[in-house]
Amino acid sequence: MSRSSVVALLIFVAVLGYLLSFGPDSTRKLQAGFYQLVSPFLTTGSGLEKQITSIRAGLKSLEELERENQVLRVENRSLRATNQALRDVEHEVNRLRAALSYRERSIFKLVPAEVVTRDASTWWRTVTINRGKQDGISGDMAVVTEEGLVGKTTTVSGSISVVLLVTDENCRVAANVEGSREQGIVSGERVAGALAPMLNLNFLSKQANLQPGQKAYTSGVGGVFPPGLLIGSVREYRVRELDGQARLTPAVDVAKLEDVFVVTGRK
């Protein structure tokens, strides 16, 4: 046995003998001192355990919040979709209600139709509707909405018809201007791209002096378009070499056509 081991053994035996020589009171005092010595470490350990427990509870709460947020996000998307669907239904109902109201109060016999196709290359010239010969439609019938004149039918088959829009340069409409004795011919104009065309009211007198906002209506001359249909409103007037010309803003936004009516006669 080495010297260091012998020394350690002797010290242990001496300490043990010393402790055994203590009475009960001395032993309790020694225990109290020991606990007093280690109590800060025990308190620190207990506090650390509480902090760890608190952090774990916080992490659990964060996970629960994340799950709740995920559920709320899904519900929010569902509510937005439902809200948009309700707005679409409301728009559809209001549109159909307005069309029905116009049909009831109109002095004309009207056949309702939907715009089914339109070619981007002829955006301002023609549209195709889902009514044809089997619905009593024939060529050269006026097509309208509650806002005013849309155009006239041209090619007609059994169940569909092509409508030449009033904004096309080949569609010519006899017109008169409210508040005046002026009459002329309205025609569209050729435009490029997405630029919305205006209407030209030609063959007016040089003394017409039309004012912005005056409305132009079909005069009934020619037999295709019945009188009294709103074509557009005057935007500007100018005097040319031989006549006067007014530029009109169309009454109907033909770029947004959905439902139209074909005029088949008078009630």
**Distance separating alpha carbons of residues 5 and 255, to the nearest angstrom:** 105
Task: With a cut of 70, say whether residue 148 has pLDDT above it.
Answer: yes
- The pair of structure tokens assigned to 130 is 């889902």
Residue in the structure block whose two tokens are 């964060």: 62
Name the DSSP letter for residue 236: E
Q: Which helix (H) or strand (E) holds 117?
A: strand 108-117
- The pair of structure tokens assigned to 134 is 């089997």
Longest dimension (CA), the chain: 140
Name the DSSP letter for residue 31: H
Report pLDDT digits (tens) over 18-63: 555 555 655 555 555 555 554 555 455 555 566 666 666 666 576 7
Question: What is the predicted pLDDT for the residue at 100?
Answer: 78
**Distance separating alpha carbons of residues 164 and 145, to the nearest angstrom:** 14
Q: Concatenated DSSP letters for 145-165?
A: ETTEEEEEEEEE-SS-EEEEE
Task: With a cut of 90, say whether residue 157 has pLDDT above it.
Answer: yes
C-alpha radius of gyration, the chain, whole number: 46
**Distance separating alpha carbons of residues 175 and 183, to the nearest angstrom:** 6
Question: What is the predicted pLDDT for the residue at 229?
Answer: 95
Question: What is the predicted pLDDT for the residue at 227?
Answer: 94
The predicted model gives 101-119 an average pLDDT of: 90
Contacts of 57 (CB under 8 A, 6+ apart): none
Question: What is the predicted pLDDT for the residue at 76?
Answer: 81
Question: What is the predicted pLDDT for the residue at 190?
Answer: 80
Question: What is the predicted pLDDT for the residue at 144?
Answer: 97
